[in-house]
Structure 1
Amino acid sequence: MRLSLANGHTLWFHGGNLHIPLKELPRTAMPSPERKRTTMHPHRERMLARLEAAIGYRFKDRRLLAEALTHTSYVHASRRRNGCDNQRMAFLGDSLLTFMVSKRLMENYPEDSEGNLSRMRASLVDTTALARLAEQLHLGALLLLSRGEEKIGGRTKKSVLAEAFEALAAAVCLDGGISCAERFANRLYGSLLTREGMDGEARDYKT
């Protein structure tokens, strides 16, 4: 049975059930294809867009990116009850980067011993190495820090930058999956994860 409403919509009854054609639903009932974004200043929006271009990944949920760039000092200073800093993401990112670098070293050096592989991996995922990668992305300028942390040079601290890079890797993985995280790592490490690059530079990456 069909029932026409005064607003022009049509309802169908079949077998005692009510059916509403999708085309009859108001726009607010249809799912939105837009990305989940956080409210932010246009300048920061542009900076984050440049970061996405640099890493070759566009976030579907910008809240994950925002969390990855939020230092714990900012949350404590702002006293946000539900505020999230990047420490948990850094925890995940540390494991992800270790796994992805280990995988590439296994592929590129099938004859190397466990000891050699471990030394090469250590030089690629230690604080100094990760801070360098973060600097290439200018993550320091994007971090949300407390005024106190800012005053003591938090934006250039190796430990802060390394954690931000780990958190960024985790954010990519949580937003797009492990394959996107691997592409992120391959893009950022570049030649350091190829046989040619490892032969020349990565063995002495700490120097």
Structure 2
Amino acid sequence: MDWETLQARLGIRFRNLALYEQAFTHSSYVNEHKREHIQDNERLEFLGDAVLELAISQFLFQTFPHMSEGEMTKLRAAIVCEPSLVSFAEELGFKHLIRLGKGEELTGGRHRPSLLADVFEAFVGALYLDQGLDAVFAFLDKVVFPRVLRGDFAHTTDYKSLLQELVQQDNLGELTYRIVEERGPAHNREFVSEVLLNQQSLGRGRGRSKKEAEQNAAAMALQVLGARR
């Protein structure tokens, strides 16, 4: 993959390509090219970490108005933890653009989780410097936020309880769940659950168990109710 391919994939036109090249430059590469006066991505990683936390905090605050501070903290931690950042970086093919020293390359640095997570944060830092916070939100809206709404991090949050509390607090009516679809063989079953408020559909969710599907449906319903308020 090259820079043109990445820009096309993201729908972003980089203004200052040097920032992004720095975001993908590991310190091992800098050590082997000292005469070129290249900077590694550590400072951009520091900035990107802060920008990522701010953007995700704002998204959770606005999307789930009845989620407690503790629940938002847990969910944010699940989104910005190393395994999650690695999955985002791998999905975008970031590993193909990383500049590594020969020794780091030979020892598998291109596939090292901590290195991939750092690159994702550095990229966010570069994007912020290059195009501002709105561009970061647009990027996360493509890569990260849909996975939050899909319930990929639902194991950290009890969305069903949050939804029940919201409905009871505002006297909105009666909540019910139903399985509307089952797919796949017995050893690899997928369920689709629908949550209804007064028999009106609020959202659907998928999962490998009925419980997981219901949690993901509740997460979608919380977003729908939040948008109505």
Could you tell me which residue of structure 2 aligns to residue 204 of structure 1? 155
Q: Is the 8 A contact 1:123 1:203 kept in 2?
A: no
Supply the distance in 2 between the matched residues of 1:77 and 1:56 (Cα, whole angstroms). Answer: 33
Q: 2:64 aligns with which of 88, 94, 109?
A: 109
Could you tell me which residue of structure 2 aligns to residue 140 of structure 1? 95
Supply the distance in 2 between the matched residues of 1:163 and 1:144 (Cα, whole angstroms). Answer: 13
What TM-score does the superposition give when structure 2 sets the normalisation length? Answer: 0.65
Q: 1:159 aligns with which of 114, 136, 139?
A: 114
Could you tell me which residue of structure 1 aligns to residue 38 of structure 2? 83
Question: Structure 1, residues 110-129: CA drift from partner, whole Å, max 9, x if none?
Answer: 11111111110001001110
Match of 1:185, as an amino acid? Answer: L
Deviation at 1:131, TM superposition (A): 0.6
How many residue pairs get matched?
156
> Could you say what the CA RMSD is over the residues aligned between the two structures, in angstroms?
1.5
Q: 1:169-180, aligned counterparts within 5 Å? A: 169-180=124-135
Deviation at 1:193, TM superposition (A): 3.8
For residue 51 of structure 1, give the secondary structure of its aligned residue in structure 2. Answer: helix
Match of 2:128, as an amino acid? Answer: C
What TM-score does the superposition give when structure 1 sets the normalisation length? Answer: 0.72
Supply the distance in 2 between the matched residues of 1:79 and 1:176 (Cα, whole angstroms). Answer: 29
Q: Is the 8 A contact 1:89 1:166 kept in 2?
A: yes
Could you tell me which residue of structure 1 aligns to residue 159 of structure 2? none
Which has the higher relative contact order, 1 or 2, with Cα contacts under 8 A spaced 6 or more apart? 1
Could you tell me which residue of structure 2 aligns to residue 61 of structure 1? 16
Match of 1:186, as an amino acid? Answer: D
Match of 1:147, as an amino acid? Answer: K
Could you tell me which residue of structure 1 aligns to residue 105 of structure 2? 150
Question: Structure 1, residues 46-86: CA drift from partner, whole Å, max 9, x if none?
Answer: 61111112222111111111111111110012223621001
Query: What is the percent sequence identity of the aligned residues?
Result: 35
Gaps of 5+ in 2: 157-229
For residue 59 of structure 1, give the secondary structure of its aligned residue in structure 2. Answer: coil
Gaps of 5+ in 1: 1-45
Question: Structure 1, residues 80-113: CA drift from partner, whole Å, max 9, x if none?
Answer: 3621001100000001111111111111111111
For residue 80 of structure 1, give the secondary structure of its aligned residue in structure 2. Answer: helix
Greater CA radius of gyration, 1 or 2?
1
